[in-house]
Structure formats: structure tokens, C-alpha cells
Amino acid sequence: MLLDVHDLHVEFHTRDGVAQAVNGVSYGVDEGETLAVLGESGSGKSVTAQAIMGILDVPPGRITGGEVIFRGRDLLTLKEEQRRKVRGAEMAMIFQDALSSLNPVISVGDQLGEMFTVHRGMSKKDARAEAVELMDRVRIPAARERVRQYPHQFSGGMRQRIMIAMALALEPALIIADEPTTALDVTVQAQVMELLAELQREYRMGLILITHDLGVVADVADRIAVMYAGRIVESAPVHDIYKAPAHPYTRGLLDSIPRLDQKGRELYAIRGLPPNLMDIPPGCAFHPRCPMARDVCRTDEPPLYEVTESEAGRGSACHFWRECLHG
């Protein structure tokens, strides 16, 4: 296993109290595998990623437990300087909004080249040549000329390609893409996603794709982990989930996708709102919104049950997963 996150806990200490952002998340990614992490805003999917990368804002954030085993060592026990050398070189991150995530006053060539000068000790000139090659690889036209330009001179799609190029620069083993296409036009989304998937296959990288777009997931992901209130509620190979979800929340998400054959009918939406992370409901955190909730859901927190009817490792944190799977 390339990356093995085990029982990760993250809290945020704010003036109003302690927000339990991540509550015992475990997931793993293999070489060349794509894991899609799904969930609403505030489900803890980005925070988990930031904890893995080691870019959590501390304080207010704090990792209170768990392990992040990457290539055989627990990143959480490493010293910051060792951690820094892993970042960017062995694992890299792609952010949602490329315009604000790229430095507005440094040319894209310098921002790309920096990876090589800092991590590889290359000369500025060689780094510049590498930058041009990277821009070529993510198919930015006229890379040689545009390498001197600044982020605001590129279109949204091109900017996101630059982010991807930056993440790929040192051929990391793992890439975490945090909603890489959310800020883009729909037509550009597909191109960028395709490019990312293609490069991932080429380099055999592990990819964690954080998204709330179920459409994107079906095409590129191998496995899906669905998060709710800082926990994984369902984890399964992508086809199993689309065929039959084993958790009512996953079912709710799937039912919320607009479908052509239901044209004219009212769109389905999961009722209620995600819980306040400072006051997560006892028992199953989803029970106030769950159509299947019973008394036991209000008192007993469900563990991640192994879904025995599926051959590949599949888990559901629902007391009534069997019912959900067949119902």
C-alpha cells in the first residue's frame, strides 16, 4: 500500500469551541490507483488531505490521533524538515482555485522552476527548461513564450494545467487533487480531468481525488470513500457503489443526481443540513437526516461494517447496510 491513513483525528480549536473535523478516518491508496473521496462541504475531506500533506494550519488545527503511513513510514512522526522534503517531491497537491493558488506576482516559469531549484538544486536556467517541458506535457500551447507570463494572463483551464504541471514536476508517487475541476467551465472540466487521469496512468501515481461531483468520479475512480461529519460512511469499488449503495447517505447522494428519465419531476435532495462539527449528533451522525433511522441509530455509533456480499473490500457504517443494499 502506497498510502495508508489509519484512524486519523483532527480538531480545530476556535473561539466558539472545538470542531471535530476528522473523526477516525482510515483509507488507503495503491500505486496507480485512484481513490475518490466524496462528501458535502464540511465533511472533512479537505482537512484529511491537508493533514496528509502536512499543510494544516496549526493552530487552530490539531492532529489528535492516527497514523499516515506513506511508503512505509509514519509521516506524522517525522520532523518538519523531513516532512518538507516529502512535500512536493514525493506527494503533491492540486488545489481547487488555480487563480488564487498561484502566486500572482511570480511568473509561472519561476513558480514551476522553483520545484527543481529547491528540491533538486538545479540552476535557474535548467529549471526554466524543465518548466517549459512541463508546460508542454500538460499541453499548454507556445510554452516557450508563455513561460514568462503571470497567472492572470492564462485562462482558467490553462491555469489549472499549470497547477497540475507543478504537482507533476518531480514525479511524485501520490497526488492529492482537491476539487481540481470545480472552479472550471463544464467543457474545460472534462479536458482537465482527462489530462489528469492520463498523466496518472503514465506515471503510475496514486491519486486521491477529492470531489463532490459524482459525475467525475464514475469515469476515473477505482474506489470511492464517502465521508460524512468527519467519518468514512462507505468505502467501496466504484462499480459496486453505483450498482447498489450500502449506506443511506450514499444512496441520497446518488439520488440527488439529476437524470434525464426523470425530466419534469422534482429533484431529489437529502433533507436537512450537515451537522455542526462542534456538536455532532450522538450515535450515527447521519441519523437526523436518514430516512431509515431507528432507535439504535440515535444511541449506537455504527462501526465500518464489512459488506460481506461484495468480494472486493467494501465497508459501510450503517447498522442496516444489508437492508440498504437490497432495498
* Residues making contact with other proteins (CB under 8 A): 53, 55, 57, 84-89, 92-93, 95, 97, 100-107, 114-115, 118-119, 150, 152, 166
Amino acid sitting at position 261: D
Question: Measured between alpha carbons, how far is residue 318 from residues 25, 149, 261 in Å?
Answer: 15, 52, 30
| Sequence letter at residue 53 | M
Q: Closest CB to other proteins among 139 and 148?
A: 148
In the bound complex, what is the minimum distance in angstroms from residue 130's beta carbon to other proteins?
14
Q: How far is the CB of 169 from other proteins (least distance, A)?
A: 9
Name the packing angle between helices 108-120 and 156-168 (round to 10°). 10
C-beta of 106 vs 267, nearer to other proteins: 106
> 102 and 163 in contact (C-beta within 8 Å)?
yes
For the CB of residue 176, give the shortest distance to other proteins in the complex, in Å: 9
Q: Closest separation between CB of residue 286 and other proteins, Å?
A: 30
Residue for grid cell 419531476? 265
CA separation for the pair 14, 35 (Å, rounded): 31
Task: Compute and round to an integer the Cα radius of gyration of the chain.
Answer: 21
Nearer to other proteins among residue 152 and residue 259 (C-beta): 152
Indicate the residue type of 66.
G
Q: CB 227 → other proteins: shortest distance, Å?
A: 21
Looking at the Cβ atoms of 21 and 285, the one nearer to other proteins is 21
Specify the residue, 91 or 307, whose C-beta has the smaller distance to other proteins: 91
Strand ordering across the sheet containing 3-14:
17-29, 3-14, 61-70, 73-74
